[in-house]
Amino acid sequence: MELLRTLDALWFSRTGRFISSALSATASLAAPTWCVGCGADHADLCPPCRADLRHLTRRPFRAEESAEALPIVAAPRDADPVVLPVIAAGRYEKLLADVVVAFKDHERVGLSQVLAPALVRALAVASAQLLPDGHGVLVHPPGSLKSRLGRSYEPVPHLLGSMTLPSTLGLVPGPLRYRFSYDVLGALPGRGGQKTKTAQARRRRGQSPLRMTAGAPDLLRGADVLLVDDVLTTGATLARLYRLLTASGVRVRGAAVLAAAAPR
Ligand SMILES: [Zn+2]
């Protein structure tokens, strides 16, 4: 347990970040590259496919209708309940889905260059529509240790780190973590049953698998928070973040995502 704790700390340390970025740089030098959209050589995304991607994400839109697990943020007496508003850069389909999957799951880290502008557009619309004075702080879900072991970078933080944020938006780095036992037991080979038992016990106690890091509530309290994630499907991840943050007195105004799954 102590070793894993040390590993986890190392991963988040300067050295760990250096090693992981060096690994991903080496991987991208060694691996042949082809366009995720059309297979053309020598580019993560060729110029015509880049233009297509820009077209697919040119108009961010409200996407909360299609996600049934989003939290209810208001229940007016004479109207339908209001769920957490979410702005998506595009639909999770066609080229955008292929690019997001390649970036998240196939180590195509260079695609951050084409995804970052799409997320910036979604964030700009989200700030204008959802933040009372346009100013806010961004919070993203933490990566689990399991996902960190399988990747050399964390998709959402990497994307946020590779773009120029609008000056009205701040980023609090890593305010949330998965609880340690959940993280570790799920990551160890052959311990799936244990993870399930731990998760079930936690649910019985009404405890979230997430926790806030020390100092995070003080940093976030008083700010208007926008959640940021890559893909919106049911909205369960955003709901978990929302509940944890609001329980600590943090004001969550909405969310922005790269891609939203089509309504079922
Ligand atoms: Zn192409």
Average pLDDT of the chain is: 83
Place of tokens 């691996």: 31
CA of 35 to the centre of ligand 1 (A): 5
- What residue type is assigned to position 71 of the chain? P
Tens-place pLDDT, residues 13-30: 555 555 555 555 555 455
CA of 252 to the centre of ligand 1 (A): 38
CA of 144 to the centre of ligand 1 (A): 32
CA of 167 to the centre of ligand 1 (A): 33
State which of 5-9, 153-157, 182-186 shows the largest mean pLDDT.
153-157
CA of 157 to the centre of ligand 1 (A): 26
Domain spans of the chain, in order of start: 32-175+213-260
Whole-number Å distance between alpha carbons of 78 and 101: 42
Q: Are strands 169-171 and 82-83 parallel, antiparallel or unpaired?
A: unpaired
Joined tokens for residue 219: 């940093």
Q: Which of 249, 204, 257 lies closest to 226 in space, CA to CA?
A: 257
Given this model, what pLDDT does residue 261 score?
95
Percent above pLDDT 90 for the chain: 58
Given this model, what pLDDT does residue 152 score?
83
